[in-house]
Chain A
Amino acid sequence: GAVVSQHPSWVICKSGTSVKIECRSLDFQATTMFWYRQFPKQSLMLMATSNEGSKATYEQGVEKDKFLINHASLTLSTLTVTSAHPEDSSFYICSAANAGTSGTSYNEQFFGPGTRLTVL
């Protein structure tokens, strides 16, 4: 159980276009989803925390108008990179936290397989 999917797995786009990445929890409900970005040979950097039905909380230095996050349901969160530029090329990973299952592993987030974005 606890499978998280991301779509697409990779995308190549032209500079200036917008790209939407979907993150789905397939077999559980996730009140909270997290979006990370990983540059080559670097750590996973948290971009934002997304709570179902409310506005996302962005980390310092992350532009909320550039990285639009929508968490419309307990199983889906989307990240839209608006007006993408080559410096946005990165590996984007989401994670989902199981909603209120008492007794399960504390703080276990389940990660998606990631989306490789290349902006030309």
Chain B
Amino acid sequence: GIQVEQSPPDLILQEGANSTLRCNFSDSVNNLQWFHQNPWGQLINLFYIPSGTKQNGRLSATTVATERYSLLYISSSQTTDSGVYFCAVDDYKLSFGAGTTVTVRA
């Protein structure tokens, strides 16, 4: 199956800082999603992005399908951004990476 690697595994930020999370995948995919998992376990949709760039408030994502990677940018981070961020690729099912745990300190 497709391998999905996320980096870094852990990220500690000071409130207001910017950061970039990376997702590499091993084969062509139909699509890609980014999620934020809140402390109660729910996966919140951030982006559905097969290619190109999308922005939603302080978050943006870029997927370069031909080079098999996607980036998630968090700008002006807030404590509410803390949690685990997952990248998942669509190869007729979602295959998830191991996640990046983000901690934003006030």
Tell whether A and B belong to one assembly. Answer: no
Q: Which residues of B contact A (CB under 8 A)?
A: none
